[in-house]
Amino acid sequence: MWPFALLSIGVIPAMGFATALEMKRFLGEDEGGEEVEEGGESAGGIIVETLLNIRTVSALTLEEQRLTAYNEALAKAEGKVLPDAVVSGALSGLSIGIQQWVNALQFWWGGWLLFNYPETFSFNDFLISMFALLFSLFALGAAAQGATDKPKAEAAAGRLFYLINRKSAIDPLDDAGKKLN
């Protein structure tokens, strides 16, 4: 069905964009990686520091203090949840909406071709064309998702190594800080 193939070639950019949005939504992404506050005052820093020095925290009974500091860091990092949720929902709806409108256009065009040219095209030709396009778009969306994740993975690894390699604020060998009587 070469006329159907021409229509499909025309809508591939829109379907590729919508499929990439959907894959990003389903497979997730590193949210907020660019604005993460690094250091001992961030939620991740408090967790890493506490777990690396769990014996000291336990010996000095600092569990409640560390929990309070962690909850405060989480509340500070949470930020604007409602606007982020609205944007995420709108992008998800946009992705599905684009895909459904393109599918409707393709079904209409395929039906029109089958109705007006029954001796030239068969229903089997239409199904082969339709499914070949749909399966190729799934692969295109997965490939686009994988291509955008490399810089985010490098940034996440950098943050992880920063947290592991920094000097702890709960150093058991340091003379400063709380002491047991």
Q: What is the mean pLDDT of the chain?
A: 80
Residue reference for tokens 């390699």: 165
Domain span including residue 114: 12-165
Q: Is residue 176 assigned to a domain?
A: no
Q: Answer positive or negative: Cα dihedral of 84, 85, 91, 95.
A: positive
| Neighbouring C-beta atoms of residue 110, cutoff 10 Å | 22
Question: How far is it, in rounded angstroms, from Cα 72 to Cα 67?
Answer: 9
When pLDDT is cut at 50, 70 and 90, the band that residue 31 belongs to is low
Task: Enter the tokens of residue 161.
Answer: 């190594």
Average pLDDT of span 75-81: 76
Flag the least confident range among 17-31, 48-62, 73-87, 100-114.
Answer: 17-31
Q: Is residue 3 assigned to a domain?
A: no
Helices (H) and strands (E) in the chain, counts: 6, 0
What is the total count of domains within the chain? 1
DSSP labels, 32-55: TTTSPPPSTTSHHHHHHHHHHTHH
Residue reference for tokens 């039906």: 111
Q: What is the pLDDT of residue 52?
A: 85
Q: Is residue 154 assigned to a domain?
A: yes
Q: Is residue 177 assigned to a domain?
A: no
When pLDDT is cut at 50, 70 and 90, the band that residue 33 belongs to is very low
Residue 175 C-alpha from the chain's centroid? 44
Q: What is the pLDDT of residue 109?
A: 93
Question: How far is it, in rounded angstroms, from Cα 75 to Cα 155?
Answer: 23
Opening angle at CA 41, ends 40 and 45, nearest 5: 45
Question: How far is it, in rounded angstroms, from Cα 159 to Cα 152?
Answer: 11
| Neighbouring C-beta atoms of residue 43, cutoff 10 Å | 19
When pLDDT is cut at 50, 70 and 90, the band that residue 148 belongs to is low
Q: Is residue 157 assigned to a domain?
A: yes
Q: Is residue 64 assigned to a domain?
A: yes
Secondary structure letter of residue 170 according to DSSP: S
Q: What is the pLDDT of residue 20?
A: 75
Identify which has the larger pLDDT, 150 or 94.
Answer: 94
When pLDDT is cut at 50, 70 and 90, the band that residue 178 belongs to is low
Residues 93-124: tens digit of each pLDDT: 998 899 899 889 999 999 999 999 999 999 99
Question: How far is it, in rounded angstroms, from Cα 19 to Cα 145?
Answer: 9
Q: What is the pLDDT of residue 83?
A: 82
Highest-scoring range by mean pLDDT, 52-56, 58-62, 68-72, 114-118: 114-118
Q: Is residue 181 assigned to a domain?
A: no
Contact assessment for residue 51 and residue 173, using Cβ atoms and an 8 Å cutoff? no
**CATH code, domain carrying 82:** 1.20.1560.10
Contact assessment for residue 126 and residue 4, using Cβ atoms and an 8 Å cutoff? yes
